[in-house]
Structure formats: C-alpha cells, structure tokens
Amino acid sequence: MWCHRLSHLQSRLRDLLRGQVTHWALQQSNFKSLFPLAIYWHHTASKSLNCVWQQHEDHFELQYANNVMRFDYVWLRDHCRSASCYNSKTHQRSLDTASVDLCIQPKTIHLDEATLFFTWPDGHVTRYDLDWLVKNSYEGQKQKVIQPRILWNAEIYQQAQVPAIDFQTFLETKEGLKNFLQNFLLYGIAFVENVPPTQEHTEKLAKRISLIRETIYGRMWFFTSDFSRGDTAYTKLALDRHTDTTYFQEPCGIQVFHCLKHEGTGGRTLLVDGFYAAEQVLQKAPEEFELLSKVPLKHEYIENVGECQNHMIGVGPVLNIYPWNKELYLIRYNNYDRAVINTVPYDVVHRWYTAHRTLTRELRRPENEFWVKLKPGKVLFIDNWRVLHGRESFTGYRQLCGCYLTRDDVLNTARLLGLQA
C-alpha cells in the first residue's frame, strides 16, 4: 500500500518539477496523510549513550558513536537475529527473505539500554545492539580501514628488512605461520628459507597454509626450459612483469616458486608491487585509474602442444576495485596473454591505451623493481592479485617447481590466526 502511495508521491513530484504546481497545491491535504508517523528525534534517556534516532517513512535513521546511519526497513527485518530468523549455531539465515513485505515498516521502535527493539506489524520483535548496527551498517563499513598493506618500491621493501621464516618454524609453530602470513598480507610477497630443495617439501609448505589450486598446469608443477607447453615460461627467454592466469575468470590467488636447480647465468626474478604503481596512477591521473577499473578486457590462453589442448578466456578490468569503498583488490596485467580488445568502442580504446601506458610507465620505473635470485632452499610466495613477477633470460639448466594456491583458503588460514584479511 505504501509503495503505491510512494509512487503516487513520486509522480506528483515529477509533476511539480514540470511546473504543474496548481495540481499539487490542490492535493496538499492528501500530502499530510503521506506522513502519518510523527517525525521527531528520539533521544536516549541515558545521555552517556549519546544516541538519537528517527523513524522516517521509508528508512530508519540512527546517530550513534559519531556515525549517521540509515537503514532500510526490509534490511532491518531481513537481518533479524532472533532464533526463528537466524541460526546462531551455523551462522545462517533461516528467514525466507522473499516472505518479507517490501513495504514493511515497524509498528513501534524503542530503545532499552544499548538495544533497539523493532516490533513488526505481525508482532515479531527484532532486536539490535547499537554496536552491532555500527559494525554492520553501510556507513560504518565505508569508514572501516581497508586491508592494511604496505605499498612498496625496491627501497621501501629492502629497508623494511622483512625476515624470511625458517622452514621448521613455519611448519611447527603457530607464530611462525602467523608471522609469515602477516608479512605476506602486508607486502604481497614472503619467503620461507631452509626448505629441502624437493617438490615434496615445497608441497608440504603449501599445504600448511592452503589448498593447492590445481589448474591446466597440474597441481604441483615442475618446469624447465623444455618447450613442453605452449607458453614462453617454458623457455629461457626474459619475461616482462606480469600476473599469471589472467585468462581465468578468477586468476589464481597465490603463486609459489621454488628454484630447485640452476647451473648457468641470469634467471633472476623480478617483483613489482602492482598496487604501489596503481596508487601512483590514482594520484597522477585519477580518470585514467577509473578507466582501467572500468574497461573489461579479455585475456586468453590457446594451447595446442601434443596432448595439451586448452582454450581459456578470462574477462575483467586491469584494476578491480570494490564498489563500496573503492579499495583495489586485484590487478590483472599480462601483455602477453591479453586478447583482442572488442569490448569498448574505438574512442574508449584510445583512452584505455593512454591509461595503460601510464600504468606501464609506473610498473617499469627501475626504482619499483625488486630483483632477487631464487636459490634452492628459499621458497617465494607471491600474491598474484597484487604483485607482478617476471624473470631475466638465462643460460644453462634451470628447474623450478611450485604451485598455485586458492586465495580463499590462504585468507581463511590468516583469519583463523586472528589476522585481518
């Protein structure tokens, strides 16, 4: 009923904007009845709580703990934590959201201590602690610190002297694992040292923090420059900075590298913090940052080498940001694997190339390049959603093993250890 009246109001507002004021004025008496609820601020009895609220026609407004929050009534009904609406053992909703009247309004609202009580037309009561509302409101969420990170260039990373974690400590102690993950979350790279140089030990390491993500390259992979697959990684050529598996709808979250052997020269690994570079773009050319976060691109992997036949396609922008707080969470950058651009018209294409050039310039600044020679025993974990890797060309025999990890499981481990992730 209210929805109907609201749309009536909206259409009259449209009339008003069109200048049909007479019609509007004539109906003024009806207008009053659109707001049957007394609209005034409710103050808490206890001044120390410092909370005021207002029951508006289509939303609830709450001022508390330096926040002005607005809640939709369906939302308030939907998030009810009463025993019949929410299973607190499984943390799952039992309420059928589709059964909630989209025009629902509370019959009464009252505050007792720090708890708000909403009584709905059918008599059901929903209670919310004020602090819960702050923590879970859109406004509160927007203010929450984003994932703590230290964006780095070569100097910042080297000055930080981030220690590698010892293999045994990593495997056998919670602290070792937690320190490792903390470094990994802050910098997007982390090392474990004193690892026996075998594929089995590398696997053991990976399994300590996550499920291994099996892909077309296998579960644990082991590779040399033997041209066994249709990709330049399997050569001795230099590889410019890139992220891997851009041609998956969800690029692999983490990459693990362990160099088991190298008898020859060159072959150093290049690491560049993509988020640091993107931040520079945001500062210098915000409209280019925005374009890179909007234009969808295809990446693809077409392979036809012996038994290995694959055609993978992944679509997404170079910069992926959360729409609610603009936090950058994934960079998809691989010029080798980028496919034909046919998702935007020619003029946008040109602006995109300009923006891509700006980002590339930042990514290629020598001061942003951190070079490291991987040695047997030292395992490198790379956040493939943030840090780009590359390698110098090399001579001689070089063996690398490693795997991809599922990002969800790495973050799961981190959260269970009490880290923000």
Ligand X SMILES: C[N+](C)(C)CCCC[C@H](N)C(=O)O
Q: For residues 390 and 85, what is the distance between their CA atoms, to the nearest angstrom?
A: 51
Q: In terms of Cα–Cα distance, which of 57, 29, 23, 39 is closest to 13?
A: 23
- On whether the CB atoms of residues 368 and 276 are closer than 8 A, the answer is yes
Q: Is position 391 an interface residue for ligand AKG (rule: CB under 6 A)?
A: yes
**Closest to ligand AKG by CB, 101 or 250:** 250
CB of 402 to ligand AKG, least distance (A): 8
Hey, which residues between 263 and 322 contact ligand AKG (CB under 6 A)? 269
3-state secondary structure of 280: helix
Q: Give the contact letters, 195-234, x = binds to ligand AKG (CB under 6 A), - = no.
A: --------------------------------------x-
Hey, which residues between 330 and 389 contact ligand AKG (CB under 6 A)? 389
Single out the residue of 80, 380, 400, 403 in contact with ligand AKG (rule: CB under 6 A): 400
Structure tokens at 34: 């659109």
Q: Is position 244 an interface residue for Fe ion (rule: CB under 5 A)?
A: yes
- Residues contacting 68, CB < 8 A, separation 6+: 61, 62, 139
Part in contact with Fe ion (CB under 5 A); list of ranges 215-223, 242-250, 290-298, 347-355: 242-250
- Residues contacting 132, CB < 8 A, separation 6+: none
Q: In terms of Cα–Cα distance, which of 50, 79, 181, 212 is closest to 137?
A: 79
Choose among ligand AKG, Fe ion, ligand X, none what residue 391 binds, the Cβ cut-off being 5 to 8 Å by kind.
Answer: ligand AKG
Residue found by looking up tokens 């992979």 in the block: 221
Q: Is position 79 an interface residue for ligand X (rule: CB under 6 A)?
A: no
- Residues contacting 169, CB < 8 A, separation 6+: 175, 176
With CB atoms as reference, the residue minimizing the distance to Fe ion is: 244
Choose among ligand AKG, Fe ion, ligand X, none what residue 383 binds, the Cβ cut-off being 5 to 8 Å by kind.
Answer: none
CB of 233 to ligand AKG, least distance (A): 4
**Closest to ligand AKG by CB, 96 or 226:** 226
| Distances from the Cα of 179 to the Cα of 29, 321, 415, angstroms | 67, 27, 13
**Closest to ligand AKG by CB, 251 or 316:** 251
CB of 67 to ligand X, least distance (A): 43
Q: Is position 244 an interface residue for ligand AKG (rule: CB under 6 A)?
A: yes
**Closest to ligand AKG by CB, 203 or 244:** 244
Q: For residues 299 and 310, what is the distance between their CA atoms, to the nearest angstrom?
A: 13
Q: In terms of Cα–Cα distance, which of 300, 303, 299, 301 is closest to 230?
A: 303
3-state secondary structure of 353: helix
Strands (E), 293-391: 297-305, 308-316, 319-321, 328-331, 370-372, 379-383, 387-391
Q: Give the contact letters, 315-334, x = binds to ligand X (CB under 6 A), - = no.
A: -------------------x
CB of 310 to ligand AKG, least distance (A): 15
Q: For residues 254 and 259, what is the distance between their CA atoms, to the nearest angstrom?
A: 17
**Closest to Fe ion by CB, 71 or 333:** 333
Q: Count the residues of the shown chain that bind ligand AKG, applying the rule CB under 6 A.
A: 7
**Closest to ligand AKG by CB, 102 or 305:** 305
Q: For residues 165 and 163, what is the distance between their CA atoms, to the nearest angstrom?
A: 6
- Strand partners for 128: 116
Q: For residues 375 and 16, what is the distance between their CA atoms, to the nearest angstrom?
A: 74
**Closest to Fe ion by CB, 134 or 388:** 388
CB of 391 to ligand AKG, least distance (A): 4
- H or E stretch at 273: strand 269-273
3-state secondary structure of 299: strand
**Closest to ligand AKG by CB, 69 or 271:** 271
SS3 sequence of 25-85 = HHCHHHHHHCCCCCCCCEECCCHHHCEEEEECCCEEEEEECCEEEEEEHHHHHHCCCCCCC
Q: Is position 202 an interface residue for ligand X (rule: CB under 6 A)?
A: no
Q: Is position 244 an interface residue for ligand X (rule: CB under 6 A)?
A: yes
Choose among ligand AKG, ligand X, Fe ion, none what residue 334 binds, the Cβ cut-off being 5 to 8 Å by kind.
Answer: ligand X
Q: Is position 383 an interface residue for Fe ion (rule: CB under 5 A)?
A: no
Positions touching Fe ion (CB under 5 A) are 244
Positions touching ligand X (CB under 6 A) are 217, 221, 223, 231, 233, 242, 244-245, 334, 336-337
Positions touching ligand AKG (CB under 6 A) are 233, 239, 244, 269, 389, 391, 400
